Amino acid sequence: MCGIVGYVGERQAAPLMLDGLKKLEYRGYDSAGLALQHQGINVIKAQGRMDILEKLVHSREHVGNVGIGHTRWATHGKPSDENSHPHCDCSGQFAVVHNGIIENYLELIDELKSSGQQFASETDTEAVPHLLSTMWQGDLLSTLMAITPKLEGSYALAVMSEKSPDELVAVRHDSPLAIGIGDDEYFVTSDIRAILEHTRDVIYLEDGQFARLTPRGVQVFNSDGQPAEVFPVHIDWDSEAIEKSGYPHFMLKEIMEQPDALRNTIAGYLAEDDEIRFPDVKLDAGEIKDISKIFLVACGTAYHAGLLGKHLFETMLGIPTETDLASEFRYRNPVLQPDHLVIVISQSGETADTLAAMRESLRRQAKVLAITNVVGSTIAREAPNVIYTKAGPETAVASTKAYITQLAALSLLACYVSRVQDNKWDKFKTLLQGLREVPHLAEQFLDKHKDSVEKIAKDGQHWRDAFFIGRGLDWAVAQEGSLKLKEISYVHAEAYAAGELKHGTLALVEEGVPVIGLATQQSLIDKTISNIKETKARGAYVIGISQFPERMTDAADVIIPLPKLPDPLMPILSVIPTQLLSYHAAVIRGCDVDKPRNLAKSVTVE
Ligand code: F6R
Indicate if the pLDDT at residue 235 is higher than 90.
Answer: no
- CA–CA dist 131, 446 (Å, integer): 55
Mean pLDDT of 176-205: 94
Confidence of residue 352 (pLDDT cuts 50, 70, 90): very high
Indicate if the pLDDT at residue 315 is higher than 80.
Answer: yes
- CA–CA dist 179, 358 (Å, integer): 25
The CB of 378 under 6 Å from ligand 1? The reply is: no
| pLDDT value, residue 239 | 66
Between 241 and 398, the higher pLDDT residue: 398
Nearest ligand 1 atom to alpha carbon 304: 10
> Which of 236, 254, 278 corresponds to the end of one domain?
236
Instruction: Specify if 555 maps to a domain.
Output: yes
208 and 276 belong to one structural domain: no
CA of 177 to the centre of ligand 1 (A): 20
Instruction: Specify if 604 maps to a domain.
Output: no
508 and 540 belong to one structural domain: yes
Residue nearest to atom 8 of ligand 1 (CA): 399
Mean pLDDT of 308-328: 95
CA distances from 270 to 321, 408, 413, 576 (A): 24, 11, 10, 23
78 and 145 belong to one structural domain: yes
390 and 257 belong to one structural domain: yes
| pLDDT value, residue 428 | 83
Confidence of residue 324 (pLDDT cuts 50, 70, 90): very high
By percentage, how much of the chain surpasses pLDDT 90? 84
Domain range holding 512?
Answer: 449-594
269 and 403 belong to one structural domain: yes
Instruction: Specify if 441 maps to a domain.
Output: no
Nearest to 346 by CA among 322, 375, 312, 308: 375
231-235, 287-291, 306-310: segment of lowest average pLDDT: 231-235
Which CATH number fits the domain that encloses residue 214?
3.60.20.10
Q: What is the pLDDT of residues 96-149, one digit of tens each?
A: 999 999 999 999 999 999 999 999 999 999 999 999 999 999 999 999 999 999
Q: What is the DSSP string of 251-286?
A: HHHHHHTHHHHHHHHHHHHB-TTS-B--TT----HH
**Whether 67 contacts 16, CB under 8 Å:** yes
By percentage, how much of the chain surpasses pLDDT 70? 99
Confidence of residue 73 (pLDDT cuts 50, 70, 90): confident
Indicate if the pLDDT at residue 435 is higher than 80.
Answer: yes
407 and 284 belong to one structural domain: yes
Confidence of residue 242 (pLDDT cuts 50, 70, 90): confident
The CB of 476 under 6 Å from ligand 1? The reply is: no
459 and 584 belong to one structural domain: yes
Instruction: Specify if 599 maps to a domain.
Output: no
| pLDDT value, residue 183 | 93
222 and 244 belong to one structural domain: no
Instruction: Specify if 600 maps to a domain.
Output: no
| pLDDT value, residue 377 | 87
43 and 124 belong to one structural domain: yes
Angle at 219 between CA 217 and CA 225, to 5 degrees: 160
| pLDDT value, residue 472 | 96
The CB of 354 under 6 Å from ligand 1? The reply is: yes
Instruction: Specify if 470 maps to a domain.
Output: yes
- CA–CA dist 161, 135 (Å, integer): 13
The CB of 586 under 6 Å from ligand 1? The reply is: no
Indicate if the pLDDT at residue 421 is higher than 90.
Answer: no
| pLDDT value, residue 37 | 96
Instruction: Specify if 135 maps to a domain.
Output: yes
Residue nearest to atom 3 of ligand 1 (CA): 300
Q: How many folded domains does the chain comprise? A: 3
Mean pLDDT of 515-537: 96
Where residue 218 falls (left for φ over 0; alpha for ψ -120 to 50; beta otherwise) is beta
88 is catalytic: no
CB neighbourhood size of 15 (10 A): 15
- CA–CA dist 444, 593 (Å, integer): 25
Instruction: Specify if 290 maps to a domain.
Output: yes
Indicate if the pLDDT at residue 181 is higher than 90.
Answer: yes
393 and 343 belong to one structural domain: yes
> Which amino acid, 536?
K
The CB of 299 under 6 Å from ligand 1? The reply is: yes
- CA–CA dist 200, 178 (Å, integer): 11
Which CATH number fits the domain that encloses residue 508?
3.40.50.10490
| pLDDT value, residue 75 | 82
Q: Where is 67: in which H helix or E strand?
A: strand 66-72
Indicate if the pLDDT at residue 452 is higher than 70.
Answer: yes
Evaluate if pTM is beyond 0.75: yes
- CA–CA dist 512, 494 (Å, integer): 16
The average confidence (pLDDT) of the chain is 94
Indicate if the pLDDT at residue 438 is higher than 70.
Answer: yes
352 and 334 belong to one structural domain: yes
Q: What is the DSSP string of 154-199?
A: EEEEEEEETTSTT-EEEEEESS--EEEE-SS-EEEESSGGGTTTT-
299 is catalytic: no
Which of the following is catalytic: 2, 88, 299, 591? Answer: 2
148 and 275 belong to one structural domain: no
Nearest ligand 1 atom to alpha carbon 301: 10
